[in-house]
Chain A
Amino acid sequence: MRCQRCQFENIPGESRCFKCGSVLGGAGVVVDIHPPRMPPWKRPLRSLLRWFRLHSVAPEELPRPKVKVPAFMRIMSKETFVGLILSIVPGLAHYIDGRFREVRWFVLGWFLALLAGISLYGGNMGLLLLGIAVGLHGWIAFQHTLLREIVETARKFGTLTILLAAIGFAYWGIRSTIFSEFVFGHSNLAIPFQNVQNGDLLLGRRSLSQPANLNRGDFVLVRAGNVIRGGSGPVIRNGPIMAGQIVGFSGDTILIAGRAFIVNGQPIDSNQIPVPEWITGKIKPVQVPNDTYFISDDYNVVIRGNAVMNTELVERALLVGVSEIQAKAVMRWLPLGRRGFLRTAQ
């Protein structure tokens, strides 16, 4: 029996060619001849994985950039642990190792995502972009050494998760140390004079929260909360940082009449400092104690049972201690279309 591939004459009855090992025709071989097929839902996933593979492997024949670094650094950068530490700056380990080309698109993507994320910080889109930046950072660090050394998928996944958590923690640390000067808070007030609307995110600076820098009508970011008046009395809970407007300082007497604040007998322009809508009914004059500000702010007020709005409730909600003021708001941060510095009240 002659082999179709190598033309070797085999002994009749053999199933495979003695010379090349091919299956011989007429040997009665039963094989499955229908190839496996890819389900359509796998196509986009595979395309994505393929894209990652194609953009993370450097063609060996391409000339590598000549980076002038000491030899010991290049050797050290190949070590897993040192490589990871160097990857705190995305792409640095690759750069030292002369493999920056492998990750150049990832580094660019990280940089753009970080810039866009910072620019939109405070909103959902900003959070998403910063998450993408953290993910890309993790991938760059992971890709440098670990991806080559760890073979098992489960271990790869576990390592990447730990790495991402560590990098996320590092970002949080940077945010709370280097950028601790800045504070963000949402405004519940709508002040047309300052072009501030309900829900706007304001950016504040801590160093400007000193009493000398604060004037009547300025926006400040305070740690406020929901005011709840129940059977056992009103309760103010600590909540997120909110934006409020300074109405009175220590020693001032404040009265609310005709939907306007009257400070020490002088009416305040309600266009610049309006009275929040939740304050209703007759409120007695409020004397501002020492080390305290009277701050106009909007709250979600929940009044249960037969309780009514009274002066005590207003005092609890609007008299804020000096220590509670986090920062002086200086600019509208979001939405992006109305970003700009706040005007000073007259």
Chain B
Amino acid sequence: MMRFSNLEFGDKRDERSAKTPAGEDIRDAEYFHKQALRYWLAGDFEVALRNYSRALEQNSVFYPGWLGQVQMLIELGEYKEAAVWVDKALEMFPEHPELLSAKAVACARDGRMEKAIAYSDESITKENVTARVWLARAEVMLSRKSSIAQNCISKAVSAACGEEGLIIRLQAGRLLNQNGDYAFAMQFLRTLVDELPKSALAWYELGCCQAGLGRPEAKASFEQALKLRPDWAAADEALKKFNARGFFSKFFGR
């Protein structure tokens, strides 16, 4: 054992490699954060939310936990609750641009466009505007059918790097898919499934884009998503719907 191995050097300690003497992962906030991410990538937002809550049980000022909870509430369609929860998170992290942008997304999806624009405007005026903020901006702009959205997505993707870059690209692909821009979404998702081959969510989103474009590869994508997560009702339904396409849909490719 090295002489200074038990000393703490501020925040430089690598929590991700924290292990118990038995070699198991220490169940701290970071551990549950990773678990939540894993479930999010599998499209299981309910369990991901639970893991974010458990992360906060370990460390109540763990910022990714608060942001993750808000994002999962939005994914689950509970926009009003997400807005309430983001206000609570903002009490702890005042004027945090990512939280403001998350509130903008919650408002936009809930049809409160004026509020969404106001929060989005506020979020981009802050310092350290991150990729998530630009992505949220893109979502608000897409709700308004503004052409600025594509620039915001490009900014978001270029601002993120490493592991976060993958998440941002996946979210960008999902956003474009939801807005019917399948071709653009596939630019992100096609390479993403190579980098995240175990993400059922990425395969499912790719399948949705391919189905939207009438590509027969959609079937394989949905099947891959179901293989990774067999109990996923949404993927199963999408696959059934794709298989049950009518003659004209198959013929014209849509």
* A residues adjacent to B (C-beta < 8 A): 2, 4-5, 20-25, 27, 29-38, 43, 46, 49-54, 57, 59-62
- Once the chains bind, are A4 and B63 in contact (CB under 8 Å)? yes
For B59, B65, B73, B94, the residue with the greatest tally of chain A CB atoms inside 10 Å of its CB is B94
Complex CA distance for A52 and B112, rounded to whole angstroms: 11
Task: Verify if B190 is at the interface (C-beta below 8 Å from A).
Answer: no
Given A2-B11, A50-B110, A31-B60 contact (CB < 8 Å): yes
Using C-beta atoms within 8 Å of the partner chain, give the interface range for chain B. 35 or more
- The answer for the CA separation of A23 and B73 in the assembled complex, in Å, is 23
User: B80: CB under 8 A from chain A?
Assistant: yes
Q: Are B60 and A36 in contact (CB under 8 A)?
A: no
B10 touches A2 (CB 8 A): yes
Cβ-defined contact, B110 with A22, below 8 A: no
A-B interface pairs (CB < 8 A), number:
82
Docked Cα-Cα span, A189 to B73, in Å, equals: 63
- Residues of A within 8 Å of B63, CB to CB, are 4-5
Can you list 5 A-B pairs with a CB-CB distance of less than 8 A? A5-B93, A20-B94, A31-B60, A35-B85, A61-B146
Interface residues of B in 108-136 (CB under 8 A from A): 110-114
CA distance A2 to B11 in the complex (A): 9
Across-interface contacts of B53 in A (CB, < 8 A): 33-35
Q: Are B80 and A46 in contact (CB under 8 A)?
A: yes
Inter-chain CA distance A57–B57, complex, in Å, is: 40
B residues touching A (Cβ–Cβ < 8 Å)? 10-11, 49, 53, 56-57, 59-61, 63, 65, 69-70, 73, 77-81, 84-85, 88, 92-96, 110-114, 143-146
Which of chain A's residues have a CB closer than 8 A to the CB of B94? 20-22
Contact B80–A38 (Cβ < 8 Å): yes
Decide: A30 near B60, CB < 8 A? Known: A2-B10, A50-B111, A62-B145: yes
Contacts of B143 in A (CB 8 A): 59
- Taking a contact as CB atoms under 8 Å apart, the answer to whether A59 and B113 are in contact is yes
Q: Smallest CB-CB separation from A38: which chain B residue?
A: B78
For the complex of A and B, 4 pairs with smallest distance between CB atoms: A53-B111, A33-B56, A54-B111, A21-B94
Given contacts A29-B92, A53-B112, 4 further A-B contacts (CB under 8 A): A20-B93, A36-B81, A57-B111, A62-B145
Residue of chain A at shortest CB distance from B146: A61
CB pair A60 B81 closer than 8 Å: no
Please name all residues of chain A whose beta carbon is closer than 8 Å to the beta carbon of B70 when the two chains form the complex.
Answer: 35
Contact A33 B81 (CB under 8 A): no
Distance (Å) between the CB of B11 and the closest chain A CB? 7
Whether B144 contacts A60 by the Cβ 8 Å rule is yes
- B residues near A49, Cβ cutoff 8 Å: 111
Q: Nearest chain-B residue to A9 (Cβ)?
A: B10
Highest count of chain B CB atoms <10 Å: which of A22, A24, A59? A22
With A5-B63, A25-B59, A57-B111 already in contact, the answer to whether A35 and B69 are too (CB < 8 A) is yes
A22 to B89, CA, bound (A): 10
Bound together, the chains give a CA A279 to CA B83 distance in angstroms of 73
C-alpha gap A52/B110 in the complex (Å): 10
Contact B81 A37 (CB under 8 A): yes
B56, A23: Cβ atoms closer than 8 Å: no
In whole Å, how far is A12's beta carbon from the nearest beta carbon of chain B?
14
Q: B50: shortest Cβ distance to chain A, in Å?
A: 10
Of A27, A30, A36, most B-chain CB atoms within 10 Å: A36
Please measure, in the bound complex, the distance between the C-alpha atom of A60 and the C-alpha atom of B146, giving whole angstroms: 10
Q: Which residues of A are found within 8 Å of B59, using beta-carbon distances? A: 25
Residues of B within 8 A of A38 (CB): 77-78, 80-81
Contact A61:B61 (CB < 8 A) given known A21-B94, A35-B49, A38-B78: no
Nearest-CB distance from B181 to chain A (Å)?
A: 17
- CA of A20 to CA of B94, assembled, Å: 7
By the criterion CB–CB under 8 Å, are B112 and A4 in contact? Answer: no
Interface pair A37/B60, CB less than 8 Å apart: no
Report chain B residues within 8 Å CB of A5: 63, 93, 96
Q: B174: shortest Cβ distance to chain A, in Å?
A: 19
B85 touches A36 (CB 8 A): yes
